[in-house]
Amino acid sequence: MILKGNKQILEEQFIRNASYPITWEITAMELKKSADILFKEVKIEFEKNLQRVSKPIDESKDEKLELDDLLSVSRSYMLLSGFAIENLLKAIAIKGNPELYVDDENKKLTDLNHNLNKLVDKLNISVNSEEKEILEKLSEYVYWAGRYPTPINAKKMSLGFSFDINSEPVIINNIFNRLIELLGTNWA
């Protein structure tokens, strides 16, 4: 059940939650923790599948389901990681200039989106080409690939996503930890 209350109280709560970087950072930490829990599952499934590589593949339903589980969990990991980084970027934006992003009068957020590379550029945060590629990939997971079987139109369709279990989580963690440092907190 969704609780509804006094409009003025809800609007004040919105402004408070939107204006304080700590609320964005706490949400980012919760999302990252969930992503990390899922990653442990991805790694377990990956290692089980890796052990079977030397054996003939059994086309049984059980083995197919295990591979499907691995793929679905990795999509969820990327989605949650993308959301976590997005929340940190928004915390940094709001910490620097809350009045640019929180419209008190209309009670809404402005000039913030889900494109992680655009947010990084807007905030003048330098990233290398490898990180830029990961941020682009995470943006796609946030927009659609982590939530839906297809984007809203064919123009946004890509040929598919691979998941490099050895390098991508390391790059994601490096980006996340650097953003935490930029915020000036001591969580990581």
- In single-letter form, the type of residue at position 31 comes to L
Residue 138 resides in a domain: yes
Phi and psi of 153, rounded to 5°?
-150, 160
Lowest mean pLDDT among 34-38, 58-62, 138-142, 162-166: 58-62
10 is a domain residue: no
Average pLDDT over the chain, rounded to whole? Answer: 81
Which pairing describes strands 108-109 and 102-103: parallel, antiparallel, or unpaired?
Answer: antiparallel
Whether the pLDDT of residue 1 is over 70: the answer is no
Q: What is the pLDDT of residue 187?
A: 47
Residues 6+ apart with CB under 8 A from 19: 94, 98, 102
- pLDDT: is 102 or 119 the higher one? 119
Residue 140 confidence (pLDDT) above 60 = yes
| Whole-number pLDDT of residue 93 | 87
| Range among 11-15, 18-22, 170-174 with highest mean pLDDT value | 170-174
88 lies in some domain? yes
Determine, yes or no, domain membership for 7. Answer: no
Number of domains in the chain: 1
Classify residue 116: in a domain, yes or no: yes
Residue 35 is assigned to a structural domain of this protein = yes
For residue 188, the model assigns a pLDDT of 44
Query: Taking the complete model, does pTM exceed 0.75, yes or no?
Result: yes
Q: Is the pLDDT of residue 132 over 90?
A: yes
If one compares 177 and 53, the residue with the highest pLDDT of the two is 177
Closest residue by Cα to residue 176 from 77, 100, 76: 77
Domain assignment of residue 132, given as a range: 18-183
Does residue 87 fall inside a structural domain?
Answer: yes
Residue 12 lies in a domain: no
Q: Which of 170, 146, 149 is nearest to 83 (CA)?
A: 146
